[in-house]
Structure formats: C-alpha cells, structure tokens
C-alpha cells in the first residue's frame, strides 16, 4: 500500500506500482468504440500509461494535453490515457481539445487495472478510482519507468517519463 495526498490529506492506494524491470501486468480496458483494449493491442510498441483520476479535472486534462503534444515526436510509442471516465466523455474531451496523439481508455467495466497496477484509491473522496501515475513500458512489455504522483493535484514528471522511453 502506498500513500498519496489530495491537497495535503493522505489517501491510500491498494498496493504499489509494478517495479522497473518487471513484466507489465496485462489489462482489459474499454476503448472509444466500447471494444476491449489489452496490453497485446499495443504489442511491439513502447507505451506510456498516463493514469489519471478523471479527464474532467484541470490537472488530468493538462497531463493529457502535455503528453499529446510531446507524443507527436516519439517513434513507435503510444500514450494511453487511462481514467474512470466513460469512453464517450473521453472521446468528447479528446475531440474538443484536438488530442490525436493519445489513446483514451476507460476502467468503466472493472477496476482490475487499477488494482493490478497498485493505484486503486482505497479511501478519501476519490475512493474507487485511480491515483495519478505514469508507467513506461518497452516493446517487450517490461516496465522501464514508473511514478506515483505523491500529490494528486500535481502534474507528473513528463520529462523523466519521456526520457525513459527514448
């Protein structure tokens, strides 16, 4: 279990992020067409998992925008923005913001992804959704970077995440 804060108030996750060097846990998330997306869907690509509580918050929206901007220059890399939002809301957000370099994925059918990645919030006002985190995964599905953002209301370290994938 890890502890993060929301505006200084402690909140606990269900576990820890997968460690660098480990095989990334597989996942089943929902894409914008209500289909299933898994780790296998992105086989052979580097992956940035931008895990956010909800795109309907300023910091989450900012992180999606910033990764979208920076992802345009990444070779063989996909940025997955993973949240508890419905796929329809994620799609509207990405369309309205002109985000074409990120793939929004939803945990709407299950919180297994958040549990398996150790980011499921256990208490506090956001209990039941994911903490803010970034996980970098190489082409062989090995974790090469991870950051659990200690204060949910703060942005992740974009440069370190992107540097790990270069």
| Residues with active-site annotation | 60
Please tell me what DSSP assigns to residue 35.
Answer: -
Q: Are the CB atoms for 103 and 83 separated by under 8 Å?
A: no
Q: Give me the helix-helix angle, 158-165 and 58-71, nearest 10°.
A: 30
Helix (H, G, I), strand (E, B) or coil at 114: helix
- CA-based nearest residue to 67, from 78, 75, 56, 58: 78
The rounded distance, in Å, linking the Cα atoms of 150 and 7 is: 10
């Amino acid at each position: 279990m890890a502890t993060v804060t929301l505006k200084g108030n402690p909140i606990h996750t269900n576990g820890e992020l997968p460690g660098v060097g480990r095989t990334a846990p597989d996942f089943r998330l929902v894409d914008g067409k209500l289909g299933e997306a898994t780790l296998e869907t992105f086989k052979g690509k580097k992956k940035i998992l931008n895990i956010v509580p909800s795109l309907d918050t300023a910091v989450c929206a900012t992180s999606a925008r910033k990764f979208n901007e920076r992802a345009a220059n990444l070779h063989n890399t996909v940025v997955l923005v993973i949240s508890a939002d419905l796929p329809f809301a994620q799609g509207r957000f990405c369309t309205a913001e002109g985000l074409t370099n990120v793939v929004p994925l939803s945990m709407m059918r299950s919180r297994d992804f958040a549990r398996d990645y150790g980011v499921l919030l256990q208490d506090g006002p956001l209990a039941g959704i994911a903490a803010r985190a970034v996980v970098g995964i190489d082409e062989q599905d090995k974790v090469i970077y991870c950051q659990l953002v200690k204060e949910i209301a703060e942005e992740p370290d974009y440069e370190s995440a992107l540097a790990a994938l270069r």
